[in-house]
């Protein structure tokens, strides 16, 4: 699936930059199925002019998290890493303090998009609780990224 940077393409809505893993679709393909609920956003925030960021929750009560597992191939994935979804202590993404990353200051809401990296996502909201692993197969900086992904068993079961 290819996602396009919302900011880079000056899109007014999330359509081509948002993905719903249950609908197997970007928001522009099946808006009635996704009910405007995106599990993953690409290019919706800009940090120092860089829009290559994934976001799973930009605030509110949604405790979903995403974590970069580093450069990996699918053949290297042996188990789903645990990713806690405790309530966030803040309501949004803030600028990091000295020595802190954006991943830390956002409490796992955002992470840098890097080609050939694998990510684990724990999606949790009032209707859903599941895990997804995804890999960035290709990246055109601040333009688009192509991902492969699959819903994986929860390590909590």
58 CB-near residues (< 8 Å, 6+ apart):
41, 44, 45, 92, 93, 109
112 in a structural domain: yes
Q: Could you tell me which residue, 10 or 130, shows the higher pLDDT?
A: 130
pLDDT given for residue 96 in this prediction: 80
44 in a structural domain: yes
99 in a structural domain: yes
Neighbours of 14 (CB within 10 A): 20
157 in a structural domain: no
In the chain, how many domains are there? 1
Give the C-alpha separation, 138 to 79, whole Å: 23
110 in a structural domain: yes
Query: Tens digit of pLDDT for each residue in 71-105?
Result: 999 999 999 999 988 776 776 677 788 888 888 87
Is there a contact between 36 and 20 (Cβ–Cβ < 8 Å)?
no
Determine the structural domain holding residue 53 and report its residue range. 2-152
pLDDT given for residue 27 in this prediction: 65
pLDDT given for residue 79 in this prediction: 92
Distance of CA 89 to the CA centre of its chain: 19
83 in a structural domain: yes
Query: Tens digit of pLDDT for each residue in 116-135?
Result: 999 999 998 877 889 999 99
């Amino acid at each position: 699936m290819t996602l396009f940077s919302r900011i880079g393409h000056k899109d007014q809505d999330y359509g081509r930059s948002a993905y719903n893993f249950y609908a197997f679709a970007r928001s522009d393909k099946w808006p009635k199925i996704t009910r405007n609920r995106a599990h993953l956003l690409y290019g919706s925030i800009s940090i120092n002019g860089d829009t290559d960021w994934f976001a799973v929750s930009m605030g509110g009560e949604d405790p979903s998290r995403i974590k970069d597992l580093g450069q990996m191939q699918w053949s290297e994935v042996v188990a789903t890493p645990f990713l806690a979804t405790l309530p966030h202590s803040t309501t949004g993404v803030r600028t990091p303090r000295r020595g802190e990353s954006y991943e830390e200051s956002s409490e796992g809401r955002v992470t840098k998009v890097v080609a050939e990296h694998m990510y684990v996502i724990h999606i949790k909201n009032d209707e859903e609780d599941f895990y997804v692993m995804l890999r960035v197969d290709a990246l055109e900086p601040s333009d688009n990224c192509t991902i492969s992904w699959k819903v994986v068993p929860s390590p909590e079961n």
